[in-house]
């Protein structure tokens, strides 16, 4: 049985099965990583081993697997009140890891599950998904054999240990321990009605109120603790608000977005959420105007240029789109595989002299950092005018990532007929052909 850890659900509620779509977004991933790093470093997890996955799921939930893979649901990210409350959730989950509440066996099985999960890019990726049914069918339903998972119920003792270890991770790493109180209060608000009907002596899980009292007592006894600077907290808060607005803008129906961020809201977060919702509803001019306002306020923010690139692409303004993505990449001080893929996509759509060659270079670079179906799809498109089997190979990789093994085999076999045996893509096709089809 696959064991997985949940935070709120360290309560009572079963979690939906894990046949999940992962979301790729450079902005969201960078912020979450920045927030988790102080905790993972204190827990002696090497930076290169830390992986953060964003799961498209409305449940208020997060868990850590294998000691270093942090899974965070969009439902948690869009609802949680502060960045330090998010850190408290991760700290609690790391507390379960440090407390030895997970077995090695479960880690091995779940690595298999991760491999089969699908990855979807925000922005252009979602748009392309609309015109491309195989990519749009991004939800992997029960094909991994581990989809039926029941929640691991932690005992009362294990929950308290995880809370205590999590709090001490927060204190040692100099993050804001008040986040622990914030999230437990929020959980109490969410689950309070349910819990009030429960007799605490008859269940094996600690009630939120009990956990809250314990954490408050622990915090009052902390010595030698320095909270983060108020500058850092302010910066995290404003970045967090933008990321939340972005996720809401992309994932919720437009009407809900405009309810949460009405036009009277002139904050960056409000402008961001509405620009995205307007783009998704096809009101591209309004979306572009809002995005340009954001750019005028923050001319060095690469993500606002990324959004402008998405909007211009959808408006069919390929030149403007390509230059917005180029600007975004030039402002980025790290690799940004989704933006590289988006630029490659625009170049294949524009298809001027040299565009496909550049698109191939960009898609390959992005695949080195973060393999994603969309990048293979773009690569296949960029190889269109090369009758050398490379396009068939790229489609084979694309279908393989989508878990469509039969299609992947067809393309891989076709690619091998055209590719020289010494080509690296030939060998990659052999790998794909050795994958068993699912019955």
Binding residues for Zn ion, rule: CB under 5 A, are 10, 162
What does the alpha-carbon distance between residue 236 and residue 54 come to, in Å, rounded to a whole number? Answer: 18
Q: What is the CB-side half-sphere exposure of residue 276 using CA atoms within 13 A?
A: 29
Nearest to 48 by CA among 62, 69, 29: 69
Q: Which is nearer to Zn ion, 15 or 162 (CB)?
A: 162
10 versus 394: smaller Cβ distance to Zn ion = 10
b or e along 369-389 (b: 16 or more beta carbons within 10 Å of the residue's beta carbon)? ebebbbbbbbbbbbbeeeeeb
Q: How far is the CB of 73 from Zn ion (least distance, A)?
A: 15
10 vs 359, which CB is nearer to Zn ion?
Answer: 10
Radius of gyration of the chain (CA): 23
Q: How many CA atoms lie within 13 A of 180 on its CB side?
A: 29
- Sequence-distant (≥ 6) Cβ neighbours of residue 316 within 8 angstroms: none
Q: Judge contact between 396 and 408, C-beta under 8 A.
A: yes
Which C-beta is closer to Zn ion: that of 8 or that of 375? 8
Nearer CB in complex with Zn ion: 179/270: 179
Distances (CA, A) of 415 to 378, 390, 392: 17, 7, 5
- If the CB atoms of residues 162 and 429 are measured against Zn ion, the closer one turns out to be 162
Q: Between residues 140 and 183, which has the closer beta carbon with respect to Zn ion?
A: 183
CB 181, min distance to Zn ion, A:
16
Q: Which is nearer to Zn ion, 90 or 135 (by Cβ)?
A: 90
Copy the structure tokens of residue 137.
Answer: 């069918």
The CB-of-9 to Zn ion minimum distance in angstroms stands at 8
Give CA–CA dist 106/152, Å, rounded: 11
CB of 91 to Zn ion, least distance (A): 11
Q: Which two tokens stand for residue 6?
A: 């949940």
Cβ atoms of 346 and 329 closer than 8 Å: no
Q: Which of 75, 80, 101 is nearest to 3 (CA)?
A: 101
Residue 235 to residue 184: CA distance in whole angstroms: 23
Minimum Å gap between C-beta 6 and Zn ion is: 7
- Give 85 or 247: the residue with its C-beta nearer to Zn ion: 85
Name the 3-class secondary structure at 54.
strand
| Cα separation values, 236 from 31, 244, 300, Å | 8, 12, 17
Chain position whose Cβ is nearest to Zn ion: 10
CB of 52 to Zn ion, least distance (A): 18
For the bound state, the minimum distance from the C-beta of residue 343 to Zn ion, rounded and expressed in Å, comes to 41
Measured from the CB of residue 1, what is the shortest distance to Zn ion in angstroms?
Answer: 17
Q: Which helix (H) or strand (E) holds 53?
A: strand 51-55
Residue 298 CB, shortest distance to Zn ion, in Å, is 38
| Bridge partners of residue 63, in order along the sequence | 71
Nearer to Zn ion, 10 or 77 (CB): 10
CB of 265 vs Zn ion, minimal distance in Å: 35
Return the half-sphere exposure (C-beta side, CA atoms, 13 A cut-off) of residue 123: 31
| Euclidean distance between CA atoms 161 and 251, whole angstroms | 35
- Looking at the Cβ atoms of 212 and 336, the one nearer to Zn ion is 212
Q: What is the C-alpha to C-alpha distance for residues 357 and 347, in angstroms, rounded to an integer?
A: 9
The secondary element (H helix, E strand) that includes residue 336 is none
Smallest separation, CB 210 to Zn ion (Å): 13
């Amino acid at each position: 049985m696959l064991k997985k850890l949940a935070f709120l659900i360290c309560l009572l509620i079963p979690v939906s099965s894990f046949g999940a779509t992962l979301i790729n977004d450079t902005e969201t991933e960078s912020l979450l990583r920045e927030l988790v790093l102080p905790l993972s470093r204190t827990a002696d997890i090497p930076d290169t081993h830390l992986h953060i996955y964003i799961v498209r799921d409305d449940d208020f939930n997060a868990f850590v697997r294998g000691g270093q893979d942090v899974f965070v649901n969009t439902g948690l990210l869009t609802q949680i009140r502060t960045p330090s409350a998010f850190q408290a959730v991760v700290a609690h989950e790391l507390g379960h890891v440090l407390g030895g509440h997970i077995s090695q066996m479960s880690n091995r099985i779940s690595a298999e599950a991760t491999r089969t999960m699908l990855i979807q890019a925000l922005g252009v990726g979602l748009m392309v998904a609309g015109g491309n049914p195989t990519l749009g069918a991004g939800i992997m339903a029960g094909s991994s054999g581990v989809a039926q998972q029941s929640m691991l119920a932690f005992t009362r003792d294990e929950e308290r240990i995880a809370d205590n270890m999590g709090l001490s991770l927060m204190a040692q790493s100099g993050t804001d321990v008040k986040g622990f109180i914030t999230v437990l209060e929020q959980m109490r608000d969410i689950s309070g009605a349910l819990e009030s009907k429960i007799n605490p002596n008859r269940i094996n899980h600690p009630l939120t109120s009990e956990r809250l009292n314990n954490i408050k007592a622990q915090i009052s006894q902390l010595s030698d603790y320095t909270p983060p600077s108020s500058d850092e907290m302010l910066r995290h808060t404003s970045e967090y608000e933008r990321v939340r607005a972005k996720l809401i803008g992309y994932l919720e129906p437009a009407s809900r977005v405009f309810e949460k961020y009405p036009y009277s809201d002139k904050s960056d977060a409000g402008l961001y959420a509405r620009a995205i919702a307007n783009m998704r509803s096809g009101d591209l001019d309004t979306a572009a105007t809002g995005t340009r306002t954001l750019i005028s306020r923050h001319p060095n923010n690469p993500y606002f240029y990324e959004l402008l690139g998405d909007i211009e692409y959808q408006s069919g303004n390929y030149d403007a789109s390509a230059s917005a993505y180029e600007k975004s990449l030039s402002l980025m001080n790290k690799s940004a595989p989704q933006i590289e893929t988006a630029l490659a996509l625009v170049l294949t759509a524009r298809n001027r002299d040299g565009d496909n060659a550049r698109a191939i270079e960009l898609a390959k670079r992005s695949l080195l950092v973060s393999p994603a179906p969309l990048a293979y799809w773009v690569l296949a498109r960029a190889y269109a005018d090369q009758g050398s089997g490379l396009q068939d190979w790229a489609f084979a990789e694309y279908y393989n990532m989508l878990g469509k093994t039969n299609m992947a085999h067809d393309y891989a076999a076709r690619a091998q007929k055209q590719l020289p045996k010494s080509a690296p893509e030939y060998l990659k096709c052999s790998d794909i052909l050795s994958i068993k089809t699912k019955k």
